Amino acid sequence: MRDKYAHSRRSPSGFVLPAPPPVVVAPKEGVVASSFLDQDRAYFHAYSHVGIHEEMIKDRARTDAYRDAIFFHADYIRDKVVMDVGCGTGILSIFCAYAGARKVHAVDASAIAVQAREVVKANNLSDVITVHHGRVEDLQIFEEVDVIVSEWMGYMLLYESMLGSVIYARDRWLKPGGLMLPSFATLYMAPITNAEKYSECIDFWRSVYGIDMSAMLPLAKQCSFEEPCIETVPAESVLSWPIVVRKLRSLDTLYPLIFFQ
């Protein structure tokens, strides 16, 4: 399954998102890193589409959680320097500016950065927020930051995530004792039932046009269980309380190899 889905993912709205590019070794100060790989281009191009940003912002639980966390830490953020890794439309950067940040470096390698710059300008925040169009691994700024905020989480927490880039930014620019938002993450799993999906994909093969095709059932089950299904399910489909399967306890100290292994 890993090999089959190493090249892409599909969002619930149908947008195909390639796997994230590998994290590269940090370039030295003053040195411009090499140009994008083809894989990089495909990944960042996917985030140039307005649909994926609309989908994320409309996820009120997600957006409200980030806004509330930023405002909760307003006393710390006030008059500080913030970096937003993967800023997208710039909404989290603007929340940080509203929380009193003195300077926000908003970084995004996709073309959405062009629109983010216009959003910042329209909200009269160009004196606070600087939008950098490029990979964070190629970014050349010469000041440390007090806070790093990033919406890096992908499906199953870690897939299609940019945590590697966030860790890179942390190691290069975050001041000792600086704030990471989020600073920890927990992955839960729970069994579910989906009789309609099972009937659609499995029971379909019992009889097709009056022909007994039940010999296809083992293959249909194998293929269905090998492929991840990304859907919103009703609460009544969840069969038990979730269990914790992975904790990332301290993103401010997490060593990159722990994540990539």
Give the pLDDT mean for 230-248: 90
Give the pLDDT mean for 101-105: 98
* Residue 107 domain boundaries: 9-21+36-187+243-260
- Residue 164, pLDDT > 60, answer yes
229: confidence class by pLDDT, cuts 50, 70, 90? confident
With b meaning 16 or more CB within 10 Å and e meaning fewer, what string describes 204-234?
A: ebeeeeeeeeeeeeeebeeeeeeeeeeeeee
Q: How many Å apart are CA 152 and CA 248, to the nearest integer?
A: 13
Q: Which two tokens stand for residue 255?
A: 């060593």
160 as an active site residue: the answer is: yes
> Does 176 share its domain with 209?
no
> Does 49 share its domain with 66?
yes
| pLDDT for position 49 | 53
Q: How many Å apart are CA 56 and CA 163, to the nearest integer?
A: 17
Catalytic residue of the set 29, 144, 160, 231: 160
> Does 101 share its domain with 225?
no
Q: Is the dihedral of CA 231, 233, 238, 242 positive or negative?
A: positive
| H/E element, 82 | strand 81-85
CA-wise closest residue to 106 among 75, 148, 65, 48: 148
DSSP code at position 134? S
- Residue 139, pLDDT > 90, answer yes
**Pick from 19-28, 181-190, 199-208, 231-240: least confident:** 19-28
137 as an active site residue: the answer is: no
- Top pLDDT among 44 and 231 is at 231
> Does 95 share its domain with 204?
no
Q: How many Å apart are CA 148 and CA 178, to the nearest integer?
A: 8
Give the pLDDT mean for 38-54: 54
> Does 223 share its domain with 133?
no
Q: What is the CATH number of the domain that holds 80?
A: 3.40.50.150
DSSP letters for 185-213: EEEEE--B--HHHHHHHTGGGGEETTEE-
Q: How many Å apart are CA 61 and CA 14, to the nearest integer?
A: 21
- Residue 12, pLDDT > 60, answer no
Q: How far is CA 119 from CA 58, 108, 110, 129, 218, in A?
A: 17, 14, 15, 10, 52
Catalytic residue of the set 151, 200, 226, 236: 151
pTM comes to: 0.73
- Residue 242, pLDDT > 90, answer yes
Percent of the chain's residues with pLDDT above 70: 75
**Pick from 50-59, 195-204, 205-214, 235-244: least confident:** 50-59
Other C-beta atoms within 10 Å of 133: how many?
15
Number of domains making up the chain? 2
